[in-house]
Amino acid sequence: MKRIIGGTVFLVAIAVVAIAYYPTPSQASDHDDGLFSDVKSPGLNLTDHFAFKSPQDASELSLIMYFNPRGLPQKQYFMSPNARYEFHVTKIAARADAATGHDDFVFRFEAGAPAANGTQSVKLTVLKDMGGTLMEIGTMDGLSTDFANSKANTIHTNTGTLGGLDVKWFIGQRADSFHFDVVRFFQVRSFLAGRFFGGNAPNKGDPGATLADNCRGDKFLALGDTTKEVQPSDKDVINLWNPPSCAPDFTKNLNVTAIALNVKIAQLGGTIFDTWSTISVLQ
């Protein structure tokens, strides 16, 4: 869930809500390991959620969700015709207020079966809290962008006015903007767990736990070799992570499918919002 305040995005919670088999509880998004589950297909695997003021028009709130993670180059991926892809928006009075999970607005996208040209017909439904009841205030039909046109940046933008809300939206594949050194993450996690909790006595830690040198050859603790272990980029004598110069990105050259929506901030009736994404299917 992300809270937008003025021109910045304030991170409220790291995990974005992912696939929800309603009426059972939601599960946190995992970006990658859900791909190897029998529970959901890649088209139901939600990875990232973004909320920010549009760089092109500061009067607009931009909401983006990613799914179909680790999409192979040149391969077309689709929305699931059996799922609802939703942006949720909560109006917040003050930036320090606790998140409530209340829906003031829901923007729901539902896709038809893929066409031969790689596009999908998509229906957008907008729901609004009307006196404590979430009610439909408008619908419109649109179209996704096929892989070839998305790669060429010849995207199809859908525009309309629904229940007093001016909206613009795009659905199609984009390069994954997520950057993460997943192998080193698990190495560091295992090392820290051993150091702090791996000793013979409960919760005493194992001082002998070790961590492999990072990809630049730096040892965990700099021992005086300032030419190698203490770098000008960070001036740090503790080398848990791989430096940017050689850290491998596990999403490099891979794609995601994106739903991007712009809506006028003033029409939402607030200036501070909690936002999150869900993908849900019927049991």
Given a cut of 50, is residue 3 above it in pLDDT?
no
pLDDT digits (tens, 9 = 90+) for 51-93: 999 999 999 999 999 999 888 888 999 999 999 999 999 999 9
Please say whether the dihedral angle defined by the alpha carbons of residues 229, 232, 234 and 237, taken in this order, is positive or negative: positive
- 233: pLDDT confidence band, cut at 50, 70 and 90? low
The pLDDT of residue 189: 93
| Rounded mean pLDDT, 142-169 | 96
- What's the pLDDT at 125? 98
For the segment 234-283, what is each residue's pLDDT rounded down to a tens digit? 566 778 889 888 999 888 888 999 999 999 999 999 999 999 999 999 77
pLDDT band at residue 25 under the 50/70/90 scheme: very low
Mean pLDDT of all residues in 176-203: 86
Mean pLDDT lowest among 65-69, 142-146, 223-227: 223-227
Model's pTM, two decimal places? Answer: 0.78
Is the pLDDT reported for residue 11 higher than 50? no
Ranges 20-24, 103-107, 204-208, 239-243: which has the least confidence: 20-24
Encode pLDDT of 97-122 as tens digits.
988 999 999 999 999 999 999 999 99
Q: Average pLDDT of 8-27? A: 37
pLDDT at residue 12 in the model: 33
Stretch 19-37: mean pLDDT:
51
Question: What is the average pLDDT value for the chain, to the nearest integer?
Answer: 83
- Per the model's pLDDT, the better-predicted residue between 197 and 88 turns out to be 88
